[in-house]
Amino acid sequence: MRALAKWFSIALGIAGAPVLALAADCPALLNHRLNSLRGAPQNLCAYAGKVILAVNTASYCGFTKQYEGLQALHEKYRDQGLVVIGFPANDFGMQEPGSNAEVADFCERTFKVKFPMMEKTSVVGAKANPVFAGLAAASGEAPRWNFHKYLIGRDGKSVRSFGSKVAPESADLVAQIEVHLAKK
């Protein structure tokens, strides 16, 4: 039974993601179950082998317009293996005060966000969710404000950190995405 559990991990309700992901192929950084913004259980192992851009988001921040660029990246590169994942957090300036439903409505209505969004969480300190705690440890840099970005390579181990002021369409970020997408 344990061997079977080691091999298979079920991912529920992730649009465009495989339903079964091999746990043995799942990097530790992604081996977490979280809920989507709409409350559906999500297994991040479903994204193993993809290039991931993980971003802590907030609805009432000066950087909120970055949702447009994040959505554009998602649309441009998803067929090549990029997944943008948003993590709404109220850690900085109380700029994400709404409920999960309110955040989902805002993102979908205002910015037409189609990339995966996880439920509201914390991304810094002792209360940081396990994904962001792992990203901070792997990169040596914790978010200092909303819209901090982590680019995770297909191997699920290589992590590069980009601060809030780095726009999704910045030449450096796009170049790094393309480098990681080229690695198979």
Cα separation of the two ends of the chain: 32
- How is residue 180 written in tokens? 């990681």
- How is residue 90 written in tokens? 């109220």
| Cβ-proximal residues to 18 (8 Å cutoff; 6+ apart), any chain | 11, 46
Enclosing H/E stretch for 72: helix 66-77
Evaluate if pTM is beyond 0.85: yes
pLDDT at position 183: 92
Active site residue 45: no
Of 6-20, 31-45, 83-97, 128-142, the poorest mean pLDDT is in: 6-20
| Residue pLDDT, tens place only, 148-158 | 999 999 999 99
| Residue pLDDT, tens place only, 64-81 | 999 999 999 999 999 999
pLDDT at position 8: 34
| Cβ-proximal residues to 88 (8 Å cutoff; 6+ apart), any chain | 37, 56, 57, 58, 59, 96, 100, 103, 117, 118, 119, 120, 121
pLDDT at position 14: 36
Residues in the chain: 184
Query: With bands split at pLDDT 50, 70 and 90, how would you rate the model's confidence at 25?
Result: confident
pLDDT of 9 > 70? The answer is: no
Which CATH class name applies to 2-182? alpha beta
**Identified catalytic residue from 26, 45, 61, 107:** 61
